[in-house]
Chain A
């Protein structure tokens, strides 16, 4: 039986840290926040890379490749659109 206690502590601490940090995000930026966290959670790509790269069975390779495609759509698209949105937020003086 694997030891889960440290994983559970990590989860709880990360969740509380997330709540504290995200509470401070300006409501103005809630849309970019959503696309950024979405891109970040596409970190599941690392598990997909293992599956697609280990090539243990045909099924796991197919599922892994599909998962790499799905996750990398979010990584590439998510960071790009977040940047595109954030670039738009300007104060006065930049353009009258």
Chain B
């Protein structure tokens, strides 16, 4: 009975049986091993299995706690979760993985916000108000959970293109946004000081979900890799905060691992764009640069047809393919594979150069190419392949844009100046597949396309690549 009154005395510590504790310890160890084994493709599946076993152990432990008295609603919850989760995992096309990931961050954050709210309303505020420190963690849990929930839904909407992908900006936007965040933090502080002020709690909830929406509104599609990683980190931290509220070390550990992972990924993404967190969140990158990059006198581009491209590729000894978001949009990864097969048949060395921010989430291109059954030892990171471009006969750019723009190296006025790029321009010949001369997400002209040794292959990547591959297979052996 006293459990009802004294959530804050962290009943787990007093009432958890040895067996339950053991399952939680096993889960924590397996989660760490899961991430360790994920370091290389060879052991990665083992890592996933370790994670599954750890999760199963923890769930069994949680179900066996003696104060869990009824199972029907737990079963209902799991059935709903299974019905939502499994179909998404089975049928979701790989090109939609960024959306699914954003959606899963939303679900994780929602769970944290719901659990936090439930705990708040379970406190006996009159007779046994929670200690201030518990309230501080609970407010953080709800704040992070709330803003990550709506923020991730917004990110998902933008990735699915239900919402406009261009950043939406208005005057003093950052001031308003920060004011709302500030108010939410004030609410949290007030609740920490006076846990009885229950009228503040719904306000905290509303402010945090509102801030989540507003945070993502000004962020463009090209910044999604960073934002998804950052939301991943927040979702993890909110789980950790829940762990503090409940005194559950397992929650603290799992949340910290998730938080660390999201943090590292967002740092990698920021570094790959030569930008800071604040710049990503408040810079509204990717809005049409309203001809500010003016004086771009019309330079001539040389355009070729698929059969000419096929001849050039046929004569090459080594080729580096640079995939980008355009490949995902056109669902062209399987055609890339057909081309790869044709070139490999001729003994041509084909590699794939992957920029860290290519696509809409970290590692997006690798998954798409792996789906098309391109061996992963052909995929190379930016740093390891950039030295190879000068010896490369043909650099084939498939739907990548800003990550191959040489302006990043020398044009100080360019918005992407300083961003590390793939040195496609150093290759002897560059073939760029593109739908039109429309600039990319950064809204800037790409010098690569007007170089003397660059040939443009206009059209839908899937159609064009099919044409090139067909040409090669007919003229080949």
> Which residues from chain A sit less than 8 Å from chain B, CB to CB?
1-2, 4, 7, 10-11, 14-19, 21-57, 59-61, 63-92, 94-95
Given the interface pairs A10-B249, A31-B364, A71-B81, the reply to whether A40 lies near B86 with Cβ below 8 Å is no
Q: With A38-B258, A57-B122 as given contacts, are A46 and B376 in contact (CB-CB < 8 Å)?
A: no
Interface residue? B134 (CB, 8 A): yes
Query: 1/0 per residue B73-103: CB within 8 Å of A?
Result: 1101110111011101110101001001100
User: Bound complex: CA of A23 vs CA of B284, how far in Å?
Assistant: 29
**Hey, which chain A residues are within 8 Å of B378, CB to CB?**
92
Q: How far is the CA of A90 from the CA of B41 in the complex (A)?
A: 8
Given contacts A59-B121, A61-B73, whether A24 and B10 have CB atoms under 8 Å apart is no
Given A2-B131, A59-B121: A81 and B97 interface contact (C-beta under 8 Å): yes
**A11-B256 contact in complex given A38-B101, A65-B76, C-beta closer than 8 Å:** yes
The reply to whether A22 and B260 contact each other, CB–CB distance below 8 Å, is yes
Q: How many residues of chain B have a CB within 8 Å of chain A?
A: 118
CA distance A7 to B250 in the complex (A): 10
CB contacts (< 8 Å) of B47 on chain A: these are: 36
Known: A29-B38, A44-B112, A45-B62. A88 touches B4 (CB 8 A): no
Q: Which of A17, A48, A85 contacts B114 (CB 8 A)?
A: A48
Contact residues in B for A86 (Cβ distance below 8 Å):
41, 44-45, 48
Q: What are the residues of chain A within 8 A of B366 when measuring CB–CB?
A: 27-31, 89
Is B349 on the interface with A (CB-CB < 8 A)? no
Chain B interface, DSSP helix/strand/loop, else mixed: helix
The reply to whether A69 and B77 form a contact with Cβ atoms under 8 Å apart is yes
Q: How far is A94 from B65 in the complex, measured between Cα atoms in Å?
A: 46
B121 touches A60 (CB 8 A): yes
Listed from nearest, the 6 A-B pairs whose CB atoms lie closest are A68-B77, A72-B81, A18-B260, A77-B85, A30-B363, A53-B68
* A27 vs B41: C-alpha distance when bound (angstroms): 11
Q: What is the bound-complex CA distance between A63 and B111, given in angstroms?
A: 9
The reply to whether A48 and B111 form a contact with Cβ atoms under 8 Å apart is yes
Cα of A71 to Cα of B70 in the assembled complex, Å: 19
Other-chain residue from A7, A30, A56 in contact with B4 (beta carbon distance below 8 A)? A56
Closest beta carbon of chain A to B51's beta carbon, Å:
6
B373 at interface by CB-CB < 8 Å: yes
Residues of A within 8 A of B260 (CB): 14-16, 18-19, 22
Instruction: Tell me if B420 counts as interface (CB < 8 A to partner A).
Output: no
Given A29-B44, A53-B70, residue A91 in contact with residue B85 (CB < 8 A): no
CB <8 Å contact, B61 and A69? no
Q: Which residues 362-395 of B have a CB within 8 angstroms of A? A: 362-364, 366-367, 370-371, 373, 375-379, 381
Residues of B within 8 A of A (CB): 4, 8-10, 24, 27, 31-32, 34-36, 38-41, 44-45, 47-48, 51-52, 54-55, 58-59, 61-63, 65, 67-71, 73-74, 76-78, 80-82, 84-86, 88-90, 92, 94, 97, 100-101, 104-105, 107-108, 110-112, 114-115, 117-119, 121-122, 131, 133-134, 228-229, 232, 235-236, 239-240, 242-244, 246-265, 268, 354, 356, 361-364, 366-367, 370-371, 373, 375-379, 381
Give CA–CA (A56, B77) in the complex, Å. Answer: 17
> For the complex, what is the distance from the CA of A66 to the CA of B118, rounded to whole Å?
11
Q: Can you name 15 extra interface pairs (CB under 8 A) apart from A43-B251, A71-B108?
A: A1-B131, A15-B260, A18-B261, A22-B264, A29-B39, A32-B48, A49-B62, A60-B118, A65-B76, A66-B110, A68-B73, A69-B80, A71-B107, A87-B45, A92-B375
- Minimum CB–CB distance from A59 to chain B (whole Å) comes to 6
Q: Are A36 and B252 in contact (CB under 8 A)?
A: no
Contacts of B375 in A (CB 8 A): 90-92, 94
Q: A28-B41, A70-B108, A86-B44 are in contact. Are A55 and B236 (CB under 8 A)?
A: no
B27: min CB distance to chain A, Å: 7
> In angstroms, how far is the closest chain A Cβ from the Cβ of B336?
14
Inter-chain contacts of B232 with A (CB < 8 A)? 34, 37-38
